[in-house]
């Protein structure tokens, strides 16, 4: 039976958007400078916004570049605009405006960006590149919460922090409720979900659910695997990464997005410069997302992209084998 750290209490699946909605609505009630920037999309708690404070909602239409510039201008006057959209749109399509009109001056704009390899909206909307491409942007803090509790805490922290933040809301199967309400969330800090000796999985977002689902499979294989939750993608918690490498000597990263430039590459970069150990990156390979069949019996996309618990077991086995080969050299 696995032993988890003290703030973990595995529960039923729960939608992370509920946590984001709760935090943003509470913050907007308390702070009249928080504004909703719409781009022909919904907004967390939109019914409350439209009935209570419609004057604090600005519809920019399907014109994301305009939305970014409007948000930057409002932030320059002390407002806290939140732009909710698919990540390919509010940051991706408006990449240059986000860079020029928000990040260069480090304006206090918040992005909620939906993205992930899973869903039924296909290659155009289930994008997987946004987290990786956003990592290249200076001054942007990037959060990718794993469950409903962490989503609420991350959204609260995003609004408490003064500066631009991207909160990635994943397109994924509904994640398990993982954290207790007293989970001490901190921007920039990883959290060790479970200790282990053979390898460490560093997971972000929904992939923490698959890592937890894999625990029983690891035990059946006689593998003692640590799990670290990495909600903050930028700045990465380098100390936690190096500590995990020192402890287990084998790192598997797990992300619901491209492995090119994402969490895995960030972790690899930290390890290569500080404490090189064998690694395997689990995520979407260098390819586009696509539509797939999702039924209660079968999830074609998780299977296709190799993002399920069983795939993490294979990755850990491969990583431990690499570690053993190096020991023999």
Partner 1 sequence: MSEKINCGHCGMMLYHGEEIARRLYMRAIPSEETVLGFYGNACPRCKGALSLETVKVEIKGRRTHAR
Q: Applying CB under 8 A, which residues contact partner 1?
A: 104-106, 138-141, 160-163, 186-189, 234-235
Q: Least distance from C-beta 101 to partner 1, angstroms?
A: 12
Smaller CB separation from partner 1, 238 or 303: 238
Smaller CB separation from partner 1, 254 or 270: 270
The strand pair at 80-86 and 34-38 is best described as: parallel
The strand pair at 57-59 and 34-38 is best described as: parallel
From 157, 160, 193, 161, select the one nearest 175 (Cα to Cα).
Answer: 193
Smaller CB separation from partner 1, 186 or 287: 186
Smaller CB separation from partner 1, 40 or 186: 186
Smaller CB separation from partner 1, 148 or 187: 187
Q: Least distance from C-beta 171 to partner 1, angstroms?
A: 26
* Tokens 């631009």 -> residue: 164
Q: Least distance from C-beta 160 to partner 1, angstroms?
A: 5
Angle at 147 between CA 146 and CA 153, to 5 degrees: 95
Q: Least distance from C-beta 286 to partner 1, angstroms?
A: 27
Q: Least distance from C-beta 15 to partner 1, angstroms?
A: 27
Q: Least distance from C-beta 74 to partner 1, angstroms?
A: 16
Find the radius of gyration of the CA atoms of the chain. Answer: 19
Smaller CB separation from partner 1, 80 or 211: 80
Q: Least distance from C-beta 225 to partner 1, angstroms?
A: 28
Residues 6+ apart with CB under 8 A from 236: 230, 266, 267, 270
Smaller CB separation from partner 1, 61 or 235: 235
């Amino acid at each position: 039976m696995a032993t988890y750290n003290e703030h973990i209490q595995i529960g039923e699946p729960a939608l992370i958007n509920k946590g984001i909605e709760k935090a943003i609505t509470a913050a907007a009630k308390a702070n009249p400078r928080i504004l909703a920037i719409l781009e022909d999309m919904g907004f967390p708690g939109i019914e409350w916004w439209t009935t209570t404070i419609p004057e604090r909602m600005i519809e920019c239409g399907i014109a994301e570049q305009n939305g970014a510039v409007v948000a930057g201008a409002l932030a320059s006057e002390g407002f806290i605009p939140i732009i909710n959209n698919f990540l390919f749109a509010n940051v991706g399509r408006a990449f240059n405006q986000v860079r020029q009109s928000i990040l260069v001056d480090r304006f206090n704009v918040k992005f909620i960006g939906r993205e992930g390899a899973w869903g039924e909206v296909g290659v155009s909307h289930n994008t997987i590149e946004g987290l990786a491409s956003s990592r290249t942007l200076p001054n942007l803090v990037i959060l990718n919460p794993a469950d409903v509790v962490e989503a609420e805490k991350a959204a609260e922290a995003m609004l408490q922090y003064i500066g631009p933040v991207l909160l990635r809301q994943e397109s994924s199967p509904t994640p398990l409720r993982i954290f207790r309400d007293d989970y001490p969330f901190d921007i920039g800090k990883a959290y060790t979900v479970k200790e282990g000796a053979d390898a460490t999985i560093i997971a972000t977002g929904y992939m923490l659910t698959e890592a937890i689902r894999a625990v029983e499979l690891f035990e059946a294989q006689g593998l003692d695997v640590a799990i670290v939750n990495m909600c903050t993608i930028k700045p990465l918690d380098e100390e936690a990464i190096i500590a995990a490498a020192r402890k287990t000597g084998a790192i598997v990263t797990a992300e619901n997005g491209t492995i090119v430039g994402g969490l895995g590459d960030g972790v690899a970069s930290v390890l290569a410069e500080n404490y090189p150990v064998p690694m395997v990156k689990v995520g979407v390979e260098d390819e586009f997302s696509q539509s797939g069949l999702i039924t209660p019996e079968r999830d074609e996309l998780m299977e296709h992209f190799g993002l399920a618990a069983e795939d993490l077991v294979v990755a850990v086995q491969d990583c431990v084998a690499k570690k053993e080969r190096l020991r023999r050299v």
